[in-house]
Structure 1
Amino acid sequence: MKLSQFKFKLPEELIAQYPAENRDECRMMVVNSKTGEITHHIFKELINYFDEGDVMIFNDTKVFPARLYGNKEKTGACIEVFLLRELNAENKLWDVLVEPARKIRIGNKLYFGDDDSMVAEVIDNTTSRGRTLRFLYDGPHDEFKEALYALGETPLPEYIKRKAEPEDAERYQCIYAEKEGAVMAPAAGLHFSRELLKRLEIKGVERGFLTLHSGRGNFKEIDVEDLTKHRMDSEDTMVDEKLVDIVNVAKDNGHNVCAVGTSVLRALATAVCMNGRLMTYSGWTNKFIFPPYDFTVCNSLISNFHMPLSTMLMMVAAFGGYEIVMKAYDVAVKEKYRFGAYGDAMLILR
């Protein structure tokens, strides 16, 4: 597959800037990849497609307030600092992106907060935009993290053309989020309300959880036409024995297994055996999935509508089939579905 095969015209007004008023009342397109049938629904109608014994797998990663604004020493220039991951808790080292990168050198100090109470020193240049910062803070690590996060804001994707608002701290987070470490919300899970989860539970649909800390690499621009030459950033992943048992028992008994989002799909593809059964996994994954790809764990997928040329779109196309997925996206544009993390949903059945 070539990069240009995932290009389509997306009117800017279809990129959702705010979430739906109620989590489970966005629109949902249902795509049957076997028959090619496309139908239109409300997300809470998802329950009609699953029965007792079926399994839904969620990503329980939790987004932290990763975007900060600091001032450079002497010049006072405003610098955006995007926290990627903590490298060393004892020394308070963080892997970050900075903008504008050209203004930041090793040895520069950055001051955060109205009273400049948080100070960081640049100790390494890792990429053209990436840096390693050492935060200069005297106090316990928990206290430092609390102070650091109090300065940050919700890291909304760049296609949302507004600053984060207080409500985003709750809405750009799945209600079951538990394990902190993501800078990008698993968007398909944002549509699940407590009421919908309860109704699924009453119906006998099982829930399973894995963790994949979604990073900024999902938004990294692909600069090669030949997709086999693209390299994904690594993301920390954990698939435990409890989930493995739930999924393998469901598959053995002929039940449906649904991945809630492309991050779940990626983690499962990392933890699958040659015989198609799931196994435990803990570590990093840089798996890049694009058509054709043989998925053996799940037979349904819930996903949002993704941006043109994105790795998430490629993964959805690999799951549902390139032709039917690109046709569905064409229909989505014509029917004015909302795209992006705060947009509408798609359920693919295989």
Structure 2
Amino acid sequence: MTPTSFDPASAAIVIVTYNRSHLLQGLLTSIRSMDPKPGRVVIVDNASSDDTTEVVDSFRADIGTEIVYRRLETNTGGSGGFSEGMRTAYELGSEWIWMMDDDVEVLPDGLARMGKWSTRFKSIQGRRYDYDGSEFYWQYRIAERMGIPIPFAPSGFDGTGFKEMNSGCFEGMFIHRSIVKEIGLPDPRFFIYWDDQLYGWLASRRTTAVIVDEFVLRRTREIVQWDLGIRHLNASSNAYRYYIMRNRAFIKHYYRAHGVYNPVLFGAGTTLTFFKELIRLAFVERTVRGTSNLFRGLRDGGRIGRDRSWRPMAPLES
């Protein structure tokens, strides 16, 4: 049942952080200035070795909402962090869960802007400003059978103020607990990459998922990019390159479970992903070092893809 009104106190902001206390401080400062504020802020710390705990404690007295702090014993990556954060918010009874990394700030009226769409939709993505203040373009549509983003999906909005999406991004995903109950928690096995795209895809199979023409976040970390006009290709890392290829196997398993797996089209998506990473190396990072991580990811993904005992995340019980 779609909610008939929005109560800001029913929402929880879920933040995942790892050794970036200076960025987390900026995000918490922005939350302190929000009006209205969420009912609670859930912070998942992926076993940081810096002063993250002290930074969190310094905001408890005057941030204006409840802080729930979960420090994990090991670094579980963004995937594990968001899975734990969503689990925590869900078990605390939050109706709406707003996910974000530590390298963004919330605009003061961000929650109100998201909340006004909550009576119509249950999986909502707001818009972001980039580090330099420009409009950040996010690939909100995927070519489903290939399992890859459509890089040039139209960026403009019509008078409705929203566009349907079949993807997701944990840097701003705003999702209702009823959808979380149906599709389960984000899969921590991804560690990093593809996890939010897949989770948004799962949500879009249960409800009309939308990106709305509302700017609610601003990115606070500058990333080396190759400017392609409306599209930017960001710099990456060896770890990202490995998981980009390995985690294709997890998507394959989910697709099989949902009856949409096409080996030819999905294989084409994997091939395009591989060549996109080669282009990223050559034109953004200007090196050829790192290709071995792509091959390692393919190798390990092949082993995972052949594991017939592998199962997707289960729905949540009442």
Q: Which protein has the bigger strand share? A: 1
Q: Between Structure 1 and Structure 2, whose CA radius of gyration is higher?
A: 1
With the length of structure 1 as denominator, give the TM-score of the two structures.
0.27
TM-score normalised by length of structure 2: 0.29
Q: Which has the higher contact order (CA 8 A, sep 6+)?
A: 1
Which structure dedicates a bigger proportion of its chain to helix? Answer: 2
